[in-house]
Amino acid sequence: MATDRSSAGDPARTLALLWGLTAEEKPGRRGPKQARSTGEIAAVAIALADAEGVDAVTMRRVAQELGLSPMALYTYVPGKAELLDLMLDTVYATMPRCAPAGEGWRARVSAVADDNRALHRAHPWVATVPTSRPPLGPGLMAKYEYELRAFEGTGLPDVELDAALTHVLGFVQTCARMAADERAAAQDSALTDEQWWAANAELLARVFDPARYPVAARVGAAAGEAYGGAYSPDHAYAFGLARVLDGLAALIAEEA
């Protein structure tokens, strides 16, 4: 759906919503005080997305959870697109921020990556929402400021600093999506990776010819024994993050 991406709504209305410039604060407004806050609305929508996925979040469903009519909800939030941006900005505002101020850049950037991984674990739907045009609310801006500071002192020019952060966050998001896929596969089959491979071992032994695929057989067996399955989200994240940091270290050395 077109609304299931960041910044799909009207920019002016979205920014007004995210920064608290709602109708209830405009001079000259008449009528009873609204009974709900945008914070409550965001919390309900986020809880729905966490439990059932972002597709479960509709204006009608959120209104029902709040005890409002759908039309009443539109007096708080213009539509589904703006609601999605409100949800994203809210989780950005409340995400952990653990980067140590006095450590080297690698420790700080690692902490930023870990913080984003924790965000995706708490809210798996975030990794599925396209954010090429992120919601420019206070939550995102605070997150961006915090993450950029992790690179302070590296000597990277501002454009490369932004690109380096984007590279790190893209890596974390990819890992989050793969981990979500692995959890979904386990739920769908009611089996862990280790249990699935054990259950299908006899059939796999008949069709997987080590003489034809010698390298794949050797490496696959070693990886399977190490991971207890075909894939380990924790190992993929730790291995990949180290390589990302190594690449950034080479870039930083070029700028020195």
The tens digit of pLDDT for each residue in 151-207 reads: 999 999 999 999 999 999 999 999 999 988 877 776 777 777 678 767 877 877 777
Q: What pLDDT, on the 0 to 100 scale, is given for residue 22? A: 52
This model's pTM is above 0.75: yes
> Mean pLDDT over residues 12-19, rounded?
93
Q: What is the 3-state secondary structure (H, E, C) of the chain?
A: CCCCCCCCCCHHHHHHHHCCCCHHHCCCCCCCCCCCCHHHHHHHHHHHHHHHCHHHCCHHHHHHHHCCCHHHHCCCCCCHHHHHHHHHHHHHHHCCCCCCCCCCHHHHHHHHHHHHHHHHHHCHHHHHCCCCCCCCCHHHHHHHHHHHHCCCCCCCCHHHHHHHHHHHHHHHHHHHHHHHHHHHHHHHHCCCHHHHHHHCHHHHHHHCCCCCCHHHHHHHHHHHHHHCCCCCHHHHHHHHHHHHHHHHHHHHHHHC
Say what the pLDDT of residue 64 is: 97
Q: What is the mean pLDDT of residues 83-109?
A: 94
What's the pLDDT at 27?
44
Q: Residue 41's pLDDT is what?
A: 98
196 vs 3, residue with greater confidence:
196
Lowest pLDDT segment from 19-23, 24-28, 147-151, 244-248 = 24-28
pLDDT tens-digit profile of 35-59?
Answer: 799 999 999 999 999 999 999 999 9
